[in-house]
């Protein structure tokens, strides 16, 4: 990505294919999440396309089949969607109430993009579940989910921690931990019926 | 801003002994000058047992507070920000205070110091709801390993039920309690209640003990949590008739016990009533297999 000016709001660019430009921006942010280092790209040029794509993918993979009864199965598509977005909004509100100086959409953007490792974990789990069920199957899935959960936390902390006053960092980070823990739990307990 | 917060906190440290002795003195005047974010003016009603000379001082101070401070309207963001004006160390201190209830050591006076927060209750309830659902799920998994005929499913709806129950408990019961205490204050002048937010805060922090002891969700967690509630409420109700005090305290403990027992049976029973497993299999198992974790019975 040698291009320097990726800002989406610049009317001067004569790009004839804004879709490709946006896709490149989303892709660039994915790379930033996968290799987290202190950079302002996620914060400065926020967009919500990436989180939307990830959330829809995750919800599609997690939704229970129609065989499961209403009450006993895993989450429905809408439930996953609501959890992800409602959770992200709650964490953002919490961080702003504690006195953080990050904007609302920037925070949503970071939290949404950092679901990428867990979406990858979901893909891997679905593949692993095609194999023979058993304790090894479960251990592999557990290991993958734990690693990706840690990756999500590290990535989001790298971006969000600086926006909080130093004596409240833990208070702002704990809900992020809880949020990704719930998503990881949903991924781990997923059983295709 | 950070320096101002630091100063405010140190002031609290120095005045903590004073506060513990005279809990009804209004203490927010100092911090108001330092932290321009509007703290909600917490009207501390004076308990009559501390003498009439405190009352004059009290009314002077509250008049001064109302003149000096512009309270932000409740439609502004600053109003809600005042409920989250806590540091990590303060939250941890309040959690520690709720874990170890002591009879003379009033949670509201020593730990809240007229500055209730909503961060603790909100996130403790959220954590508790998820921990209950997760542990209930784990119980089902373990039961299934023991008996493969039990049908395992993620039972995701339990998260929703857990969340709604716990949040309703932490908001509605303190509301009822606060309303009742205010009514008693009208009837008998010497009963001084806590503010609504302080009551919510006490309830929220008292639920914390359920999180680590969820495996022992039985007598131990219930007694710790109930004790912290009772010790906090005791100074308020002891001025009332002993009958009312006894009834109130036993109602509080009973409601708390109902919550604990309800959670135990709803989340930790591997064969719930609405389960998919055929009823034949359910009845063929002896009852003690159905509840593999009965810590309440075992730890008594």
Residue A55: its pLDDT value, please?
A: 93
For the stretch A80-138, pLDDT in tens is 888 899 999 999 999 999 888 888 999 999 999 999 999 999 999 999 988 888 888 88
Residues of A in contact with B153 (CB under 8 A): 68, 72-74, 191, 193
* A114 domain residue, yes or no: yes
If you search the block for the tokens 């690693």, which residue do you land on? A147
Pick the residue from chain B with its C-alpha nearest to A165.
B2
Q: Establish if A163 belongs to a structural domain.
A: yes
- Which residue reads 């953007």 in tokens? A109
pLDDT digits (tens, 9 = 90+) for B149-178: 777 777 777 888 888 999 999 999 999 988
| B120 has a pLDDT exceeding 60 | yes
CA distance A42 to chain B (A): 26
Residue B12 tokens read as: 């609290």
Q: In the prediction, which pLDDT does B196 show?
A: 86
Contacts of A192 in chain B (CB under 8 A): none
B91, A72: Cβ pair inside 8 Å?
A: no
Measure the CA–CA gap between A46 and B38, rounded to whole angstroms.
32
Q: Nearest CA of chain B to the CA of A138: how many Å? A: 12
Least reliable range by pLDDT among B95-99, B188-192, B288-292: B288-292
Label residue A148 by pLDDT band (50, 70, 90).
very high
pLDDT at B104: 76
Interface contact A94-B119, CB threshold 8 A = yes
By residue range, what is the domain housing residue A113? 47-63+75-190
pLDDT score of B293: 46
Residue A3 domain-assigned? no
pLDDT tops 90 at residue B144:
no
Is A57 within 8 Å of chain B by CB? no
SS3 state of residue A100: coil
Q: What's the gap in Å between the CA of B119 and the closest CA on chain A?
A: 8
Least Cα separation, residue A114 to chain B (angstroms): 21
**Number of separate domains in chain A:** 1
CB contact under 8 A, B2 and A166: yes
Rounded to an integer, the average pLDDT of A159-164 is: 83
Structure confidence at residue B5 as a pLDDT band (50, 70, 90): very low
Residue A95 lies in a domain: yes
* Between B145 and A160, residue with greater pLDDT: A160
What ipTM describes this predicted complex? 0.82
* CA atoms of B300 and B293, how far apart (whole Å): 14
CA distance B197 to B283: 48
Contact B49, B86 (CB under 8 A): no
The answer to whether position A38 is within a domain reads: no
pLDDT at B284 over 60: no
The verdict on residue A99 lying in a domain is yes
CB < 8 Å to B154, chain A: 64, 73-75, 186, 189-191
**Farthest CA pair distance, chain B:** 74
Q: Which of B88, B159, B276 sits opposite A69 (nearest CB)?
A: B276
Q: Pick A118 or B273 by higher pLDDT.
A: A118
Between B5 and A101, the more confident residue is A101
Residue ranges with strand state E in A41-148: none
Identify the pLDDT of residue B58. Answer: 54
- What does the pLDDT read at residue B46? 41
Does A189 sit within 8 Å of B274, measured CB to CB?
Answer: no
What is the pTM (predicted TM-score) of this model? 0.71
Model confidence band, residue B26 (pLDDT cutoffs 50, 70, 90)? very low
Distance (Å) from the alpha carbon of A164 to chain B's nearest alpha carbon? 11
User: What are B's interface residues with A at a Cβ cutoff of 8 A?
Assistant: 1-2, 5, 77, 80-81, 83-89, 91, 119, 123, 126-127, 130, 134, 137, 151-157, 159, 274-276
Give the pLDDT of residue B18: 52
| Nearest in space to A71 (alpha carbons), one of B157, B162, B130 | B157
Interface of A with B in 93-112 (CB under 8 A): 94, 96-99
The DSSP symbol for A73 reads S
Q: In this model, does residue B276 exceed pLDDT 50?
A: no
**Whole-number pLDDT of residue A123:** 93
Q: Residue A160's pLDDT is what?
A: 84
> Using an 8 Å Cβ cutoff, are B145 and B224 in contact?
no
Tell me if A73 and B156 make a contact (CB, 8 A cut-off): yes
Nearest to A84 by CA among A112, A46, A49, A113: A112
Give residue A141's pLDDT.
Answer: 93
Q: Is the pLDDT of residue B148 over 50?
A: yes
More confident residue, A68 or A103: A103
Question: Chains A and B: how many Cβ contacts under 8 Å?
Answer: 79
**Residue B36: per-residue pLDDT:** 41
Q: Are B89 and B117 in contact (CB under 8 A)?
A: no
Tracing tokens 């949020």 back to the chain, one arrives at A179
Which of A75, A174, A185 comes nearest B134 by C-beta? A185
pLDDT of residue A10: 52
At B210, the pLDDT band (50, 70, 90 cuts) reads confident
pLDDT on residue B184: 78
Residues pairing with B105 in the sheet: B102
Indicate whether A14 belongs to any domain: no
């Amino acid at each position: 990505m040698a291009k320097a000016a990726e800002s989406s709001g610049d009317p001067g660019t004569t790009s004839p294919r804004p879709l490709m430009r946006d896709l490149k921006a989303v892709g660039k942010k994915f790379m930033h999440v996968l290799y987290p280092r202190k950079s302002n790209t996620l914060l400065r040029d926020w967009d919500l396309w990436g989180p939307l794509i990830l959330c829809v993918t995750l919800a599609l993979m997690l939704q229970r089949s129609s065989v499961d009864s209403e009450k006993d199965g895993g989450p429905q598509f809408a439930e996953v969607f609501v959890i992800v977005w409602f959770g992200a909004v709650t964490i953002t509100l919490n961080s702003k109430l504690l006195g953080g100086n990050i904007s609302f959409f920037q925070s949503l953007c970071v939290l949404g993009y950092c679901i990428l490792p867990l979406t990858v974990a979901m893909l891997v789990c679905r593949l692993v579940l095609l194999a023979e069920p058993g304790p090894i199957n479960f251990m592999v899935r557990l290991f993958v989910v734990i690693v990706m959960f840690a990756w999500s936390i590290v990535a989001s902390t790298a971006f969000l921690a600086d926006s909080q006053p130093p004596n409240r960092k833990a208070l702002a980070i704990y809900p992020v931990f809880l949020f990704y823990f719930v998503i990881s739990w949903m991924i781990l307990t997923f059983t295709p019926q | 801003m950070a320096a101002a917060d630091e100063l405010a906190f140190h002031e609290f440290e120095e005045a903590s002994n004073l506060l513990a002795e005279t809990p009804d003195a209004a203490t927010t005047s100092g911090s108001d000058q330092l932290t321009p974010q509007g703290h909600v003016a917490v009207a501390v009603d004076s308990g009559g047992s501390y003498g009439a000379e405190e009352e004059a001082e009290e009314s002077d101070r509250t008049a001064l507070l109302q003149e000096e401070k512009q309270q932000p309207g409740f439609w502004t963001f600053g109003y809600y920000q005042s409920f989250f004006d806590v540091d990590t160390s303060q939250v941890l201190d309040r959690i520690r205070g709720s874990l170890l209830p002591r009879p003379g050591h009033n949670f509201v006076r020593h730990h809240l110091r007229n500055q209730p927060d909503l961060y603790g209750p909100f996130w403790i309830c959220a954590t508790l709801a998820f921990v209950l659902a997760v542990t209930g799920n784990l119980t089902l998994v373990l039961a299934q390993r023991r008996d493969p005929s039990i049908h395992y499913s993620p039972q995701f709806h339990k998260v929703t039920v857990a969340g709604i129950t716990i949040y309703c408990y932490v908001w509605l019961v303190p509301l009822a309690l606060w309303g009742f205490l205010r009514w008693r204050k009208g009837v008998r002048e010497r009963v001084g209640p806590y503010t609504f937010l302080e009551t919510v805060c006490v309830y929220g922090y008292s639920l914390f003990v359920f999180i680590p002891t969820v495996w022992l969700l039985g007598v131990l967690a219930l007694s710790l949590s109930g004790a912290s509630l009772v010790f906090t409420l005791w100074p308020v109700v002891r001025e009332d008739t002993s009958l009312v005090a006894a009834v109130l305290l036993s109602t509080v403990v009973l409601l708390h016990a109902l919550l604990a027992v309800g959670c135990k049976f709803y989340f930790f029973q591997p064969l719930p009533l609405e389960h998919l497993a055929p009823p034949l299999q359910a009845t063929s198992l002896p009852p003690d297999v159905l509840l593999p974790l009965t810590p309440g019975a075992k730890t008594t």
